Amino acid sequence: MPASATPRSLEPIGFSIPANVPTHWYNLNADLPTPVPPHLHPGTREPLTPADLAPLFPMALIAQEVSTERYIEIPQVVREIYAQWRPAPLVRAHRLERELGTPARIYYKYEGVSPVGSHKPNTAVPQVYYNAIEGITKLTTETGAGQWGASLAMACSMLGLTCEVWQVRASYDSKPYRRMQMETYGSVCHSSPSDLTEAGRAILAATPDTTGSLGMAISEAVEVAVGDPNAHYSLGSVLNHVMLHQSVIGIEALDQLDQAGEAQADVVFGCAGGGSNLAGLSFPFIGKNLREGTTTRVVACEPAACPSLTQGEYRYDHGDVAGLTPLLKMHTLGTDFVPPAIHAGGLRYHGMSPMVSHTVELGLMEAVAIEQDDAFAAGILFARVEGIVPAPESTHALAAALAYARTVTEPEVIVIGLSGNGALDLPAYAEYV
């Protein structure tokens, strides 16, 4: 059963934190040649004001959403929690290199060492912290594969908030262990669309057999948050402040490559759904390109079943089905797009982060679409050679990187974002083994 909020101290414990745990987040907005187009009010189509966002987010996150400061200090309480798993390892994939017969030096940045097994706690912890210090006692959210829902549930339990999650029906039905993980942390998880909200009831009335989508789940979570003065909404990807928090991945990777004696990464591959893992890994590399003239290529690897970057339109669109969210300038397949129930549930979003979309438009990042069969083949090869079963989402980056590595004829450095492990996603591998 869901737990009630348990007040917890928001003061730092005061233990010594290793120096290689990042002290600041990096904000690519400070270095972009042209600014990211502003979010618009859904009614007036004018740029959003802080007051427009206040019903959903704490002021600290609203300030981060529009900030152009290059570095933003990480609160000590957040760093103390980060220190449980950060810095995440950057691993040289020697066995994979030998298996492929490539002269490339392949590294993977492994986020599966976090308590929930993915990169998502990097933003869940600060989001919960900033809400807690503003006096919020409950957060609502959506989740696809469940790693974001589990991460927010974990952070809420650690910092004394309650959490209510709407999970896309296809993943809710196929990934029961994610729901159990959220419930273990004291949160409640609903299948979406549900009959608990006006948005959910309207969707079910129109399409009772729908497999759901992140856009539907967002509508439900936002509706509940807006109706509760003690609640806020929390988003695990897409928005600027989420990209900011995830930058710890790339900040560490740059330092770790330097320690390994590498002058730079030649190519960085990251899986792409809403954009948080990809941005977290790649934005510090892109910023270094812009400031220092390095030449790292960045490749966004999205599922062919949900190809917002490679086939979507770059325009203003809502982040949810019901039209409750602001209008975001992004690559989008349209809010009515319901992707097939592919196994990579964390990549089943109709749109792409405005910041990621903008970097693609500026030519600072490129994108490829990966077929599911190719993704799982790469995941199985990686598991059998390197020993880690990747999250289905991560296999898209692996597939693109492995295909590229097989074409390399001279030594170069490849970095792959391994955004999580597949320990709770093994049923997805069943038809491929």
N-to-C CA span, the chain:
36
Per DSSP bridges, beta strands 413-418 and 105-110 are parallel
In a domain, 413, yes or no: yes
In a domain, 195, yes or no: no
Q: Which residue range forms the structural domain that includes residue 107?
A: 85-117+247-432
DSSP string, 389-427: -B-TTHHHHHHHHHHHHTT--S--EEEEEE-BB-TT-HH
The structural domain count of the chain equals 1
In a domain, 393, yes or no: yes
Cβ–Cβ under 8 Å, residues 369 and 307: yes
CATH of the domain at 391: 3.40.50.1100
In a domain, 190, yes or no: no
In a domain, 65, yes or no: no
In a domain, 342, yes or no: yes
Q: Which of 152, 162, 144 has the alpha carbon at shortest distance from 122?
A: 152
Return the pLDDT at 422: 93
In a domain, 77, yes or no: no
Enumerate residues 6+ apart whose C-beta is below 8 A from 188: 2, 163, 164, 165, 182
| Positions of the chain with pLDDT lower than 70, given as ranges | 1-5, 339, 341-348
Tell me the C-alpha distance between 292 and 398, whole Å: 28
In 12-170 the beta strands, taken as DSSP E runs, fall at 24-26, 71-73, 90-92, 105-110, 138-143, 162-168
Return the pLDDT at 1: 45
| pTM beyond cutoff 0.75 | yes
In a domain, 197, yes or no: no
